[in-house]
A and B are shown apart, each in its own frame.
Chain A
C-alpha cells in the first residue's frame, strides 16, 4: 500500500469513526440539532471520500455498494488485517 493510499484510508477511518460515534449519540439523543447537523456534514464528506478512494484503489464495500473496474477488484489485497499501518502521528 503506497503512502497516498494509506493517508486516504486514514482519513476515511477518522471520518467514519466520527460518524459511528455521532450515530450512537443520536440513537439516545434524537432531538439534538447540533449533533445531527455534524452527523450529516460528516456523512457527506465521507461519501465523497469513499467514492474517490474506490475509483483509485478498488471497492471498499461489495454487494452493490460500489462499482469495480475490470477485473473484479474486490479480491485484490491487501485485506485489512494484512496492512502495515504507518506509525501513528
Chain B
C-alpha cells in the first residue's frame, strides 16, 4: 500500500518558462535513466531480495524515486506553463504539442515513450543490485548534463538536490550489496 502525501519532497522553483529545457528534462520522467525507470526497477526487484535490509532498502529507495518523479513532473509543468503553441513549435516542441498539448507524458528527450525494456529484474539479488548501482550513476551523469544545459538558477537548485540523492542511493545500494553478498556467502558455507 502507498499513501500519497500532498507535498513535494523538495520545493520546485523555475525562474522562467523554458520549453526547450522541458524537452531535455522529460528524459528524467520517462527516459531510460529517469525516475520512472528507477522506481519501477527497485519496486519490482524487492520481492526476490533475500534479506529484510535489502527488501527495506529497495522499498524505501523505490518510494523516494516516486517522489522524484513528481519533482521532475512539476519542473516540466512549470517550464511549459503558459507557453503558446507557436512558441512550443519554435523551440522544438511542435510534436509534443500535437500529441500532448502542455501535458507531462513519460518519454525520453527525443519523444520515445517509456518502456519496461529499460529495466532489468533478474531475480538474482547480486545481479539486480549491481544494475541498481549502475542506474544511480547513469542518473547522476544525466543530472550533470541537465545542469550544464540550463542557466536557470532556480531550476539548477532542484536538479542539484536530485543529483545528490543519486549519490546517496548509490552509497546505500553499495552497502546493501556487501551485506547481501555476506549473507549469501555465509549460507553456502555450512
Residues of A bordering B, CB below 8 Å: 9-10, 12-13, 16-17, 20-21, 23-25, 27-30, 59-63, 65, 74, 79-81, 83-85, 87-88
**Are B3 and A81 closer than 8 Å at their CB atoms?**
no
> How far is the CB of A53 from the nearest CB of chain B, in Å?
9
**Are B172 and A27 closer than 8 Å at their CB atoms?**
yes
Considering the chains assembled together, what is the distance between the CA atoms of A23 and B4 in angstroms?
Answer: 18
Partner of A13, one of B7, B61, B78, B169: B7
**Are B3 and A59 closer than 8 Å at their CB atoms?**
no
**Are A80 and B8 closer than 8 Å at their CB atoms?**
yes
B182 within 8 A of partner (CB): no
How many residues in B have their beta carbons less than 8 Å from beta carbons of A?
29
> How far is the CB of A20 from the nearest CB of chain B, in Å?
6
Chain B contacts for A65, CB-based, 8 A: 3
Question: What are 14 residue pairs bridging A and B, where the CB atoms are less than 8 Å apart in the complex?
Answer: A9-B7, A13-B7, A13-B8, A17-B9, A24-B172, A25-B172, A59-B6, A60-B6, A65-B3, A81-B70, A81-B77, A85-B11, A85-B13, A88-B13
**Are B4 and A28 closer than 8 Å at their CB atoms?**
no
The number of inter-chain residue pairs (CB within 8 angstroms) is: 75
Most buried by B among A17, A27, A63: A27
> How far is the CB of A2 from the nearest CB of chain B, in Å?
16
**Are A28 and B175 closer than 8 Å at their CB atoms?**
yes
Considering the chains assembled together, what is the distance between the CA atoms of A86 and B51 in angstroms?
Answer: 43
Interface pick from B52-60, B83-91, B117-125: B52-60
Partner of B9, one of A16, A84, A87: A16
Considering the chains assembled together, what is the distance between the CA atoms of A28 and B169 in angstroms?
Answer: 11
**Are A23 and B60 closer than 8 Å at their CB atoms?**
yes
Chain B contacts for A20, CB-based, 8 A: 9, 60, 64
Considering the chains assembled together, what is the distance between the CA atoms of A10 and B175 in angstroms?
Answer: 31
**Are B13 and A87 closer than 8 Å at their CB atoms?**
yes
Q: Name the residue of chain B whose CB is nearest to the CB of A9.
A: B7
Most buried by B among A9, A65, A79, A85: A85
**Are B179 and A28 closer than 8 Å at their CB atoms?**
yes
With A80-B6, A85-B12, A85-B13 as known contacts, state yes or no: A28 contacts B74, CB within 8 Å. no
**Are B70 and A80 closer than 8 Å at their CB atoms?**
yes
Partner of A60, one of B7, B10, B60, B77: B7
